[in-house]
Amino acid sequence: MADVASALQKLATYRTQNNRASQETFDRGVIVLKSDVAKTIGEEGWAFLEQLALAAIDVGRTDVADQCLQLLSDKFHGSPRVDCLEGILLEATQTPEAALKYYQDLLNEDSANAAIWKRQISVYRRMGKVEKAVEELSQFLDTFYTDVEGWLELADIYSTCNQYTSALQSLSHVLLLTPQNPFYVLQAAETAYTAGDIPLSIRMFLMAVDMTDADDSVALADSTPTGITVRAWYGVKLCARRLLKDTRLSNSSASQTPAPKNINLIDELATERLRVAYSSPGKKGEIAQGRDELFAWAALI
């Protein structure tokens, strides 16, 4: 019994942290499922069954997923959430065409079912029907504007088709929806860099730096950049170097973004920050890996 309790607790933390960890979830979930307590622990039991079903599909144990779905559909007959799970199982076990037909039937009944619609789009993409996927996804986003996931997917599809300007447009909607997330700013900056819009890119990299470093300017000069700040500094350094090398670049922005002034100073600062990031001793006082390479790269002009 203690086993089951600890497994349930672990699974609950996975759920709240949105952690996929399918294999672990599956191993623990099967213990709970065998002990047959899922139905007796009330509300939480249903969330657990949904989680286990998804994990079981992930690891390819569709028999377990079937079992979970059976329990769920007994309790919630005709619930859109269970329908969606059934669709996912269908995708895993049958042809994409069968799944598409299932989704289409559900959408005919309720055309505004966002979850099903999104699954349908993902199936289109998986089948290689990129055009159809983009068309549906645009329509989906026109209806459900606030779906950040959808905008990111659209940007991703455009990027894989080398349509970086369109990807940047989708990302601008993502930025509008979640202006507080530096990861998306970084993604937009990298997309702009790939699209060749260097002035826009360097400004966005700097925005990412501005969002992620500390606010206290006194301690800032001594602090070590970590995490995505380092990546953003890399981006700044890359852009600054290209702008310095080729002055024409600063006037060739597709979005008519002016290149930053003091580009020399920014280049200097980026080099310094990157050096600091790689110079600080690690856990055992060792020097960071790749330090020499970085120093050599940064010294190149």
Partner 1 sequence: MSTSAVSLYLDPQIRDWVLFPITLVMILVGILRHYVVILLQSTPKKLSREAVREQRALTRSQILQATAANSPIPPTYYKAISKHLSAAYEAGTYLKDGPPKKGDAPPAAPNPLSDPAAMDGMMAGMKTQMVMMVPQMVIMGWINFFFQGFVLIKLPFPLTLGFKSMLQRGIETPDMDVRWVSSLSWYFLNFFGLNGLYRLILGGENSADSSRDMTASPFAAAGAPQQGQPQDYNKVFKAERDNLEFSEGLYNWVGKDVEERILRKYGKIST
Query: Does 203 interact with partner 1 (rule: CB under 8 A)?
Result: yes
Among 98, 265, 287, 288, binds partner 1 (CB under 8 A): 265
* Total interface residues for partner 1 by CB under 8 A: 40
Pair 71, 49: CB distance under 8 Å:
yes
Query: Is 142 one of the binding residues for partner 1 (CB under 8 A)?
Result: yes
Binding mask 145-164 for partner 1 (x = CB under 8 A): xx------------------
Q: Which of 177, 228, 238, 244 binds partner 1 (CB under 8 A)?
A: 177
At 9, list the tokens.
């607790």
The nearer residue to partner 1, 63 or 142, going by C-beta atoms, is 142
Q: Is 105 in the site for partner 1 (CB under 8 A)?
A: no
Tokens of 147: 């779906």
Residue 179, interface with partner 1 (CB under 8 A)? yes
Considering the rule CB under 8 A, would residue 200 count as an interface residue with partner 1?
yes
The site for partner 1 (CB under 8 A) is made up of 110-112, 142-146, 168-169, 172-173, 175-177, 179, 185, 200, 202-204, 206-207, 209-210, 213, 217, 220-221, 255-257, 260-262, 265-266, 268-269, 273
